[in-house]
Amino acid sequence: MQPATLLAKVWDEHLVRSHPEEPDLLYVDLHLVHEVTSPQAFDSLRVGGRTVRRPELTLATIDHGVPTTDRHLGITDPLSKIQIDALVRNCADFGVTLFGLDDPRSGIVHVIGPEQGLTQPGLLITCGDSHTSTHGAFGALAFGIGTSEVEHVLATQTLPLHRPQSMAISIDGELPAGVTAKDVILGIIARIGTDGGIGRVIEYRGSTVEALSMEGRMTVCNMSIEAGARAGMIAPDDTTFAYLEGRPYAPRGIEWERALDAWRRLPTDSGAQFEHELAMAAADFEPYVSWGTNPGQTVPITGKAPDPLTGDDPSEREAIARALKYMDLEPGTPITEIRLDRVFLGSCTNARIEDLRAAAAIVAGRKVAPTVGAMVVPGSGLVKLQAESEGLDLIFKDAGFEWRDAGCSMCLAMNPDVLAPGERCASTSNRNFEGRQGQGGRTHLVSPVMAAAAAIAGHFVDVRNWS
């Protein structure tokens, strides 16, 4: 056998059919569905007289449009209500399991898949959401798809795909204190750009990555799409298996043993070739803060908003100037002098229990700055319950944070959680695009500990100096 990459092994195991002049036809093990990108797909199935081929390999939840307060009042936004009702009806009509709003297992689709043990090594996972790359943390091949592809997976449980290129990003060494998985991926994107991964699947490797918890690995893989990559993957290991064992949908008994045997064969063989390689050192990473309007426009906390004159060419200079104008920042502004109106701790990037624990440790016994409105939105109903059982909710509430119900919330503001025009927010989410958190809102991407410290201080601070 030729030495093979993790990507090649997972890809080849899912080949239903391959033909030299056509895309490969790949089998989808798990299809996650939410309310925003699925209604048109289900409608087309109806029109075409088609069914969902494998409803038992399909899980639906409601996350993008849900309010995070006063759930008992139901969905008050009329359009969101129509959209959510449509998903409930579609799941009933087509026999798809739905974790509905009153189910404690509901939450952000990329939090609940792993939490339930549905996300497993070696699977091919799709969802009509670009942050499906999250699930690659388990050694699955997982990527976002559009609504036409959602319909295709529902109808056939397969997708026709061209084989992407492989890219290894190796990081070695111990991360400095205060530098988190979020900083690892922000640092990678700052290095390779928001288009550095186009057409590629990134495998994150090296001792730094191996030392990350599953939560940290999910944070890294989650933002692979922000580097333009088709997917991110991390080889499964004992950390992965320990996370999975005993979860509701993880294999049990003899099936667990069989699965382990197969999963242990997944990591990239020594001698396997990647089409692209990049090596980075953990010691070079710092806590990062995005200053601009895409996730590549990021500097270390010790840095400054850039001067447009530093751009490589006229279009780069214009892009920097546009971003600074939108963000209302002067060139050369030290990041630590940027004052905040809001702090958002949440999203599929950073709303898992470990994220909340880390942020709570920063805020314990302190108060949110009087000029800042801060909120915590757990990634799922179960994360919320876990945090409450550990008393984290009290720590946040005592500090002046709002403690909310699970959902996508202000990551994309398709629900009542929205920035007002001109408001500036430190956010643990994944996108700082113009208007992402509300029309005219200004987003700075940071790690949970950096967001927590900024909430207390009222401006960005270097969490490495937090005492």
Partner 1 sequence: MSPVDIIVGTMAPLPRANVDTDQIMPKQFLKRIERTGYGEFLFWDWRQADPDFVTNRSEYRGASILVTGANFGSGSSREHAPWGLADWGFRAVVAPSFADIFRNNCYKIGLLPVELSEKEIAWLIELAESDPSAEVTIDLDVQTVSTEGFEARFEIDGYTKWRLLNGLDDIGLTMRHAEAISEYEASRATYRPALS
Within 381-400, the residues that bind partner 1 by CB under 8 A are none
Helix 214-222 crosses helix 353-363 at what angle (to 10 degrees)? 100
Q: Quick one: which segment of 4-12, 146-154, 167-175, 452-460 binds partner 1 (CB under 8 A)?
A: 146-154
Cβ-based nearer residue to partner 1, 216 or 438: 438
SS3 for 1-24 is CCCCCHHHHHHHHCEEECCCCCCE
Positions 86 through 125 that interact with partner 1 (CB under 8 A): 86, 97, 117-118, 120, 123
For residue 79, count CB atoms less than 10 angstroms from its CB and return exposed for 0-12, middle for 13-18, buried for 19 or more: exposed
Cβ-based nearer residue to partner 1, 197 or 216: 197
| 148 belongs to the binding site for partner 1 (CB under 8 A) | yes
Angstrom distance (rounded) from CA 131 to CA 209: 19
Which helix (H) or strand (E) segment holds residue 168: the answer is strand 165-172
Retrieve residue 179's tokens: 């530098």
Q: How far is the CB of 155 from partner 1 (least distance, A)?
A: 5
Retrieve residue 284's tokens: 């070079």
Positions 164 through 223 that interact with partner 1 (CB under 8 A): 164, 194-195, 198-199
Positions 295 through 324 that interact with partner 1 (CB under 8 A): 296, 315, 319, 322
Pinpoint the alpha helices (H) of 161-232.
181-192, 207-210, 214-222
| 61 belongs to the binding site for partner 1 (CB under 8 A) | no
Positions 230 through 289 that interact with partner 1 (CB under 8 A): 230, 249-251, 255-256, 258-259, 262
Retrieve residue 314's tokens: 């006229």
Task: Fill in the per-residue mask, 414 to 453: x = in contact with partner 1 (CB under 8 A), - = not in contact.
Answer: x----------------x-xxxx--x--------------
Cβ-based nearer residue to partner 1, 16 or 211: 16
Q: Which of 5, 61, 68, 158 binds partner 1 (CB under 8 A)?
A: 158
SS3 377: coil
Cβ-based nearer residue to partner 1, 198 or 281: 198
Contacts of residue 382, Cβ cutoff 8 Å, sequence gap at least 6 = 104, 105, 107, 112, 115
Cβ-based nearer residue to partner 1, 221 or 356: 221
